[in-house]
Amino acid sequence: MQILALETSTETGSCALWQDGAVIERICPPGRSHSETLLPLVRELLAESGIAIGQLDAIAFDTGPGAFTGLRVACGAAQGVAVAADLPLLPVVSLEAMAAATGAEQVLALLDARMGEVYSASYRRRGDVMVLQGGIRVTAPDNVDLPSADWLACGNALTAYPALAERLGAALTLMPAILPEASWLARLGALKLAAGEGIDPALAAPLYIRDKVAKTISERLSEGGRA
């Protein structure tokens, strides 16, 4: 099984190739847009691995939540490659990939949503699969639900909002450095492909969670910012 994975939901973009359990990952160069660097990096990765697009079995991509522009980059690139090569797509939720990367059994995944908000989701491990408990939320940091003490919390929202980290750290183990990575998208994508969860590229779409991209001028002024 050979799966290409694309991840651009945060400033740290990446791509990875899964080959029957072995994973090779490449990180997008910093300081440049993902739309500029992702596909050239994919071409380099496949060339180094001696794999042609037509030899892939599927393409996994980070469906979100995350940065709006980044989600569109990964989704659009995945759709373009999949249509050209007649491949199924494997949407993977960014928070699920984060939870899987911790290796823990019960994980509260927290991603900075900007605008003073946090994307959050709780997962329990069932074998190799991370099972979502409830729904994915976008809330103010103060409104993030506190799970029981035997959970782990991960993600960059813990760094972005110190008060949240202080509140959760009193009861939970914290892993603030965890971010969505293409290598984990590839691993989860392999499980989804084996379970028959591939979709037609035409059905792929980013998972935004919220519709609002930025604060209005009046909102910024009310908080002491500039118009």
Q: What tokens were used for 68?
A: 């709006």
Q: How many CB atoms lie within 10 A of CB 220?
A: 13
- Per-residue pLDDT, 148: 81
Residue type, 13: G
What the chain holds in terms of domains, given with CATH numbers, is: 2-93+180-203 (3.30.420.40), 95-175 (3.30.420.40)
- Closest by alpha carbon to 61, among 39, 103, 90, 35? 90
Q: Is the pTM of this model over 0.95?
A: no
Q: What is the CA radius of gyration of the chain?
A: 18
Name the β-bridge partners of 117: 114
pLDDT tens digit at each of 227 positions of the chain: 999 999 999 999 999 999 999 999 999 998 899 999 999 999 999 999 999 999 999 999 999 999 999 999 999 999 999 999 999 999 999 999 999 999 999 999 999 999 999 999 999 999 989 999 999 999 999 999 888 888 999 999 999 999 999 999 988 999 999 999 999 999 999 999 999 999 999 999 999 997 544 333 333 334 444 33
Q: How many angstroms separate the CA atoms of 193 and 71, rounded?
A: 21
Q: What tokens were used for 146?
A: 């506190």
- Per-residue pLDDT, 210: 76
